[in-house]
Structure formats: structure tokens, C-alpha cells
Amino acid sequence: MAVGIFDSGLGGLTVLDAVQKRLPEVPFVYFGDNAHTPYGVRTPDDIYDLTTAAVSRMFEAGCDLVILACNTASAAALRRMQENWVPKDKRVLGVFVPLIEALTERQWGDNSPPREVAVKHVALFATPATVRSRAFQRELAFRAVGVDVEAQACGGVVDAIEEGDLILAEALVRSHVDALKRKMPEPDAAVLGCTHYPLVQQVFQDALGPEVKVFSQANLVAESLADYLARRPEMIGVGKETMYLTTGNPKKVSDRATQFLRRPVAFTAA
């Protein structure tokens, strides 16, 4: 009865931590494609190939449902996977929709026409590939009208977080926020469109100012997953063991993950 959580590296641990706290009875298989991170600078075909290979491995580990806790994969590969690749008895879901539902104050499954919402000016911080895909804007347009989105591609932030260089990550975040503010001086809200970014969320908040509401994904995804599994309990797979898989160096990834989560985490080779 395992559920899969996939990320290009360590950022998805923010989602894993939230879903484990929300659903302590469910075993999770986490897959970090650390050998190929970051995805944000890759082509859509490359992202698709890497993501499908990882998800296949998670299906083999007993997962019937996999969450792409990677905004780049959700933006660049998810729709193609769902239309052409995912077996009929499996499900692969992304992380954009819970975030947009919170931003637009819509309930899960609300399929009413798009409407005006309180937030009018949204700053989106994401990887270059996510920004290029315009997936966030597309999903937002299904639910809201009259919202101006200004996207900022945050090159280098994921690399710095993966290497544990939080001083560099902070400097890059402040630089990217300054660049965004030159284009949109007064955003109402900011969306952290990468699951690595909650690790430096306070830096984003400080740089943006206290009047800007910052949305990140971990707890939102956890609540949506709990709701989904309550409605679709059959999607909890046959796997019974919590596993941490990586394409990278297991010891290095384990050490970094333990540092991030502040509890022991032991990765094995995928």
C-alpha cells in the first residue's frame, strides 16, 4: 500500500515530509533522480524520458499512484504521460493543481467556469523549464480570469540547494526577487513553483516583504493527497515498505536528506 513521491533531486523531500505527517499510516516510496538534477535546464523530451523511467521504477516498487513532486516534470511531462503512457490501473498526478486551487480559493473538483478572484497580480518563481512551459498560466486560466502572472526563471537556485550552499541560494533568491520586482513592483501573492524553494521560503518572504502572501506546495499537496485517497482508497498500491531510492550517490544523498529533514534518512541505489 505504497504511494510514490518523485522529484529530480531533494526538493520533493519537502512534500514527502508533509504527506508523511498527514498520512502516517501510508508507506511512501521516494525517488530522487539526483544523477540528473536539475531538470529545469533540460529539454521537454529529456524531462519526459527521465520522469517515465523513474515512475516505472516506482510502479515496480508497488506504487499504483505517483505524485510528481517536481514542478518541472509536472509542467513539461505530466500531460503527455497521462495521455499516452500511464497504464489504466495506475495514476500519476502533479503538484500545480493544489497550489492553484488554494490561490483561487476553489475546492477540489470544482469544475465551474473560471471567475474573478481576489488575487490580481501573481509573481511566479520557478525553474527555466517550468517558466517556458507556461503550464501554471494554463492551469490558472481554467479557474480564474483577470489575474496577471509575471514569471521569473530562477536559474541556479536548485543547484545551490542540492549542493547545500544555502548562502549562494539566498543570494540568488534575492537577485531573482529584485528582477521580478522590476517587472511587477507590487505583487499581491507569490507562488514558489518548485519544491526545492520551501527550503529557502523565508528568504523569498523577506525579499518580497510582509505584505506579499507566499504560497508553497508541501502542505497543500498533503491535504489534496489525503482527500484523493479518502475518495480513491484503491489507489494505495500493494507496496508495504517505505523506501528512499536515488540515481545518485546513496551516501551523499542520505547525508543531505538527513540534514534537510533533521532525521535519519537512508537512500539506496535505484
Marked catalytic residue, from 3, 70, 161, 192: 70
In this structure, what C-alpha cell is assigned to residue 235?
489507489
**122, β-bridge pairs:** 149, 189
CA neighbor of 86 nearest in space, from 54, 55, 57, 109: 55
Provide the angle, in degrees to the nearest 10, between the axes of the packed helices 218-231 and 96-104: 100
Quick check: is 70 catalytic?
yes
Rounded CA separation 95/67 (Å):
7
**264, β-bridge pairs:** none
CA neighbor of 70 nearest in space, from 26, 105, 34, 102: 34
Q: What are the angstrom distances between the C-alpha of 183 and each of 150, 208, 209?
A: 7, 13, 16
Q: How many CA atoms lie within 13 A of 103 on its CB side?
A: 36
Marked catalytic residue, from 78, 100, 160, 194: 194
Q: Maximum distance among all alpha carbons in the chain?
A: 50
DSSP secondary structure, 114-150, as one string: PEE-S--EEEEEE-HHHHHHTHHHHHHHTTEES-EEE
In this structure, what C-alpha cell is assigned to residue 221?
499537496
CA neighbor of 82 nearest in space, from 106, 51, 105, 60: 51
Quick check: is 154 catalytic?
no
Rounded CA separation 49/243 (Å):
22
Catalytic annotation, residues: 70, 194
